[in-house]
Amino acid sequence: MVNDRGDTGARATGGAGYALLVAAAPGGRQRLMDAAGALHQLAAVPPAALLGTAGGASVVQLVDPADPQTVLTHLRTAAAHEGPVLIYLAGQLTVDTKQRLPHFALARTTPRTARYTALPWHWLAAELARRPAGSTTVLVDLVADETAWPRLSDPLLAGRLLAAGLTLYGSLAPAPPKRRTVAPLYSRAFAAALRGTAQGAPFALLHERAVAEAGLGGGAELLFDGSAVAVEAPAAPVAGAPPQPAPPEPGGAVTRVADGAVTSVADGAVTRVADGGAEAEWAVPPPRPQQAPAPVAALPPPPSSAAAEQAPAPGAVPDPHAAIFEAAHAGRHSEAASMAAAWEQEALRSAGPHSGEAIHWMEVRADLARLADDPARACELWMAVADARLGNGEAADDPDVEGAVDRAHHQWQYVQDPARAQALAPFLISLRGRVPGRRPGALEAVRRRAEILEAASRTG
């Protein structure tokens, strides 16, 4: 089933947007998720809000397609679109019996026919590879069946097979017990975040809100946040990674911390994927002169738990900040980002998404993005920090809130890609309206540059 809908009106920020929403799952007992129900959550969001554009957005829905060639045709249409593009996939992953590669299962897919009746995941990356950097986002709410999860629960393979070359946000969970289906918790929460956040809010912020609202981050699922893969505790932790939790008691909840083996930093103009210790890079902009950004004040280590304070372990893991920033300053940005993401996921698991520890590690990741010369990503993360602090009831004139907005503004000034800067502007303007800061004219400065970008996009 195909459903097209459009939204006309004011010209879209960064060009007219295009969204392809696909929900599919095999029938009968092989269905692991109510994929159509997941699709309905996002389909109910106005197109302009879904794309983060001011108007001129088009949305195409595919419900339970049966032919991979049909989906491929729609992918190619989306890939050829000149403006911002969102690809949303809800359903389940399987692997083919010959090459053991991940496939997005369609309506007629069975374990034995996956190679012919499911959409190979690498088709998705291949079709989107030629698009301009920062113009495409892939959003997923997926379940891995019993053939796929043993492979995809491995962080290295998950990064290679799913996140490579994509700006990927979402959740991938293992299959539920037999005769049960997984509820589309991530999709519901993401749709709620879209409805409750200012239009144009960055995907990093929407993802953080969706994870918190859905209560994810404490199970075996993988979380894709556009820059890292978070998974169940690995067998061989990376140096500087947080301590692994003890195996759960029978019948208890499975906890997980992020693995540091793979990272994909794909927002903005830079994409890096760690692969066996090496970094491959695409669409890296030429070196540009710039002022040294204002350094972030020394970030305190996250407070230890009460239990740890009462009985400190003699062999406690040393403070990870030194190892993280040593890697960053040595140019090993993927390694540094992975370690920071690992600690953030541990904070989410142990202290919750609104905790000071979780916000602290968002701040660390934002500073690492600055060091990696990815100002768009740094801006997104600092805006997410500011929004989280305001959401916790911190005052607009609190130094931590002001500092987060100031740093987001500072990094935004260095975003070279006009479309990317234009996409970030609406939420930054919203934040500046709430947190004007100590320097007069900051809000007017953001508005003035946003107007210049708008005028340039019209004439270009």
Query: 181, 152, 148, 182: which is closest to 168 by C-alpha?
Result: 152
Contact 184, 413 (CB under 8 A): no
Q: Which H or E run includes 276?
A: none
Closest CA relative to residue 77, chosen from 127, 40, 122, 6: 127
Check residue 105 and give its pLDDT: 94
For the record, the structure tokens of 203 come out as: 């995907």
d(CA 284, CA 235): 33
Residues with Cβ within 8 Å of 130's Cβ and at least 6 positions away in sequence, in order, are: 79
At CA 225, angle to CA 151 and CA 97, rounded to 5? 20
Tokens 């918790």 found at: 185
- What pLDDT score does 405 carry? 93
DSSP per residue, 347-362: HHHHH-TTSHHHHHHH
Residue-level pLDDT, tens digit, the chain, 460 residues: 555 444 333 223 456 789 999 999 888 888 888 888 778 778 788 887 788 776 667 899 999 999 999 999 999 999 999 888 999 999 999 998 888 889 999 999 988 889 889 999 988 988 888 888 778 999 999 999 999 999 888 766 777 788 887 889 999 989 888 878 888 889 999 998 888 877 677 888 888 888 888 888 767 788 888 864 443 333 334 445 454 433 333 222 222 323 332 233 222 222 222 222 222 222 222 222 333 333 333 333 333 333 223 333 334 456 788 888 888 888 888 888 888 888 887 787 778 778 888 899 989 999 999 998 889 989 999 998 998 899 889 999 998 999 999 999 999 999 988 888 888 888 899 999 999 888 888 899 999 999 998 888 777 5
Map residue 174 onto helix, strand or coil.
Answer: strand
Q: Token pair of 147, please? A: 């053939």
Instruction: Give me 228's structure tokens.
Output: 């890292």
pLDDT value of residue 138: 94
User: What pLDDT score does 318 carry?
Assistant: 65
Residue 344 near residue 241 (C-beta atoms within 8 A)? no
Q: What is the pLDDT of residue 432?
A: 92
> How long a stretch of residues is the chain?
460
What values do phi and psi take at 204, rounded to 5? -60, -40
Question: In this structure, which long-range contacts are made by residues 233-240, counting pairs with CB atoms below 8 Å and at least 24 apart in sequence?
Answer: 233/257, 233/259, 234/155, 234/259, 234/261, 238/335, 238/338, 238/339, 238/342, 239/323, 240/320, 240/323, 240/324, 240/327, 240/339
Residue 406: per-residue pLDDT: 92
- pLDDT (0 to 100) of residue 391: 87
Count how many Cα atoms sit within 13 Å of the Cα of residue 21 in the half-sphere of its side chain: 26
DSSP 288-339: ---PPPPPPPPPPPPPPPHHHHHS--TTPPPPTHHHHHHHHHTT-HHHHHHH
331, two tokens: 């140019």
Give the Cβ contact number of residue 296 at 10 Å: 17
Asked whether 27 and 110 are in contact (CB, 8 A), the reply is no
Helices (H) and strands (E) in the chain, counts: 17, 13
Answer whether 160's CB lies under 8 Å from 273's CB: yes
Per-residue pLDDT, 56:
65
Q: Among residues 411, 16, 434, 428, which one has the least CA distance to residue 448?
A: 428
Question: 223: which strand partners?
Answer: 171, 230
The Cα 107–Cα 71 span in angstroms is 12
